[in-house]
């Protein structure tokens, strides 16, 4: 009897241990289930789908479904999958804009931009990049962008209207293509020299532009203000001979601005009977300082190419000079 009691108590203890292990296992499974549900919900939010899929075994009331749909739509555009545009040498400006938009969308660092872009180069662009990389000409993303524009961009000399015919094309040499070492070195040196020449030309253009921009300034005039008008008298040598044109009158006026035409042109209120077009570029205008004039300066009656023709008022004297071994009267 005592043995049966001890066996029964031992069995009860084992049952309690198994029951406790079963409860712990069930609790662990509940925690794992909750973690899986949370992971599935996060993945579903990130997926570019337009509908919310409920998780089985969860409470899917109208409020939770609405929150899931709103959260899904909120992150829908952020995780749209896009591919890096490929570049084969055509339209470098358009490709740079697209690839910059792509990298800004995914917040890509400058170190990774150059590496990722190199995988999406094709044809002449890939050959050029291999050559530039082997000669250590490109080491950063900014240097890559600065080098690709002059290499594949459209220049003034590529326009057939300049010379009447398209410019001759020069193929890019791929190092190692020739089995003759001298030819390989010569062509590689040629491409390196051309690249340096183009870089120097662009630097010279940028330097000239910066020097000219220092002398330029933005100016505007208000409608109703008074300005001086710069005109160059028409060089009519048959009417009057002036040894030095720099002594002639340069500015006329002042005249009042009547209206503005576009961003850089103004229409002036010229005197009645003037035969010059009243619209002038802003570079021909100079601000007038002082009281408003009571009498407006008149312009010559005749004009050629929208420039005044100055004629003498009276002939005071004349003389005879020899020109080409022939006597000629000079006033």
- Stretch 11-16: mean pLDDT: 78
- DSSP secondary structure, 130-193, as one string: HHHHHTT---SHHHHHHHHHHHHS--GGG-HHHHSSPPPP-PPPPTT--SSHHHHHHHHHHHHH
What is the SS3 assignment for 251?
strand
pLDDT tens digits, 243-273: 555 666 778 878 889 999 988 899 998 887 7
The residues that bridge with 322 in the sheet, in sequence order, are 327
Most confident of 3-7, 13-17, 152-156: 13-17
* Lowest model confidence (mean pLDDT) among 49-58, 110-119, 297-306, 317-326: 49-58
Q: Give the count of beta carbons closer than 10 Å to the beta carbon of residue 254.
A: 22
Give yes or no for residue 118 having a pLDDT over 80. Answer: yes
Q: How far apart are CA 115 and CA 84, in angstroms?
A: 12
More confident: 163 or 316 = 316
Q: Give the count of beta carbons closer than 10 Å to the beta carbon of residue 39.
A: 10
Per-residue model confidence (pLDDT) at position 313: 63
What is the SS3 assignment for 319?
strand
User: How sure is the predictor about 1, in pLDDT bands with cuts at 50, 70 and 90?
Assistant: low
- Considering the chain, what is the average pLDDT of its residues? 75
Per-domain boundaries in the chain: 2-79, 92-213, 226-323
* Lowest model confidence (mean pLDDT) among 76-90, 138-152, 278-292: 76-90
Give yes or no for residue 156 having a pLDDT over 60. Answer: no
């Amino acid at each position: 009897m005592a043995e049966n009691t001890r066996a029964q108590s031992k069995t009860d203890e084992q049952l309690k241990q198994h029951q406790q292990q079963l409860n712990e296992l069930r609790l662990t499974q509940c925690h794992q289930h909750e973690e899986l549900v949370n992971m599935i919900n996060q993945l579903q939010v990130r997926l570019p789908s337009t509908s919310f899929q409920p998780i089985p075994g969860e409470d899917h009331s109208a409020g939770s479904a609405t929150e899931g749909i709103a959260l899904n739509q909120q992150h829908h555009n952020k995780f749209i999958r896009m591919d890096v545009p490929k570049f084969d040498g055509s339209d470098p400006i358009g490709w740079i804009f697209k690839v910059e938009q792509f990298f800004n969308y995914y917040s890509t660092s400058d170190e990774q931009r150059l590496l990722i872009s190199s995988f999406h180069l094709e044809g002449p662009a890939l050959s050029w990049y291999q050559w530039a990389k082997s000669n250590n000409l490109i080491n950063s993303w900014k240097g890559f962008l600065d080098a690709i524009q002059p290499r594949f961009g459209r220049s003034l000399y590529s326009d057939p209207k300049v010379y009447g015919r398209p410019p001759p094309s020069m193929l890019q040499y791929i190092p190692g293509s020739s089995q003759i070492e001298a030819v390989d070195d010569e062509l590689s040196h040629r491409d390196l020299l051309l690249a340096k020449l183009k870089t120097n030309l662009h630097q010279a253009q940028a330097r000239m532009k910066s020097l000219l921009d220092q002398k330029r300034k933005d100016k505007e005039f208000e409608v109703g203000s008074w300005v001086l008008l710069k005109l160059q008298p028409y060089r009519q040598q048959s009417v009057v001979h002036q040894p030095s044109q720099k002594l002639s009158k340069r500015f006329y006026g002042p005249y009042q601005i009547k209206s503005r035409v576009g961003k850089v042109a103004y229409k002036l209120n010229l005197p009645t009977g003037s035969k010059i077009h009243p619209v002038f570029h802003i570079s021909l205008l100079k601000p007038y300082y002082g009281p408003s004039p009571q009498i407006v300066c008149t312009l010559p009656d005749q004009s050629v190419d929208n420039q005044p023709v100055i004629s003498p008022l009276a002939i005071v004297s004349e003389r005879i000079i020899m020109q080409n071994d022939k006597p000629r009267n000079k006033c």
